[in-house]
Amino acid sequence: MKYNLHTHHRCKDADTLAIVSQDLLAVDLSIPHFSLGIHPWYITPTLIEEQLHFIESQLHYPNCLAIGECGLDKKIDIPLALQEEVLVRQLLLAEKYKKAVILHVVSAYQEIIALKKRLKLTVPLVVHGFNKHQQVAESLWKNGIYLSFGQALLYNTQLQETFVAVPQAFLFLETDDVQEITIADIYAKAETLRPAIGEIVASNFKRILNKE
């Protein structure tokens, strides 16, 4: 079994467990495993309350495994204060319903760490699509934040070195929104760097998402 922490496309492979990040306007409850969240790119002030209420109404479904993707992005025009307000509301929902959180983070890693500490979060936080240097990775895992690696792992040699350095308890793999690359491709590369990655990711999924 392969585990895809974060994708935007429904998976039809019987040997893959994929968490599909769904569009809040078109949720399909027949998808075996999914996540829901307000992405910082798409924050619309007039819709925030309605969207948060909708997300909360879906969290009782057993196939809703996580909140996300949500997060902070300093390279977009939406004010960071508003982004943080929306993220905090989602983090508190995650804490209330004991759901993992899949995070989109751009140039705001220290802010995420600070929020985790301030809110005293106990639920797993996973930075998806991690592609930064080892110093950033260390600051995250040393604060109990998980890392998910995707397409960049295939060609970024510096990231490959970081991937090898991350403690195994903090590792996940994903495809995100890329359709040309499969989770099998990501696994194949990851196995050349860490031969036991299959067992590592399976163990981590079971531990933080309660999924075999």
Domain of 89, CATH number, reads: 3.20.20.140
Residue from 25, 80, 111, 208 nearest 38 by CA: 25
Full-prediction pTM beyond 0.75?
A: yes
* Alpha-carbon span 159 to 131, nearest angstrom: 6
As beta bridge partners, residue 16 has 2
Beta carbons of 149 and 186 less than 8 angstroms apart:
yes
Q: Which structural domain, as residue segments, surrounds residue 25? A: 2-209
Between the CA atoms of 123, 92, 121 and 100, what dihedral angle is there, to the nearest 10 degrees?
20
Beta strands 171-173 and 146-149, pairing class? parallel
Quote the number of domains for the chain.
Answer: 1
Per residue of the chain (212 residues), give pLDDT as tens.
999 999 999 988 889 999 999 999 899 999 999 999 999 999 999 999 999 999 999 999 999 999 999 999 999 999 999 999 999 999 999 999 999 999 999 999 999 999 999 999 999 999 999 999 999 999 999 999 999 999 999 999 999 999 999 999 999 999 999 989 999 999 999 999 999 999 999 999 999 997 65
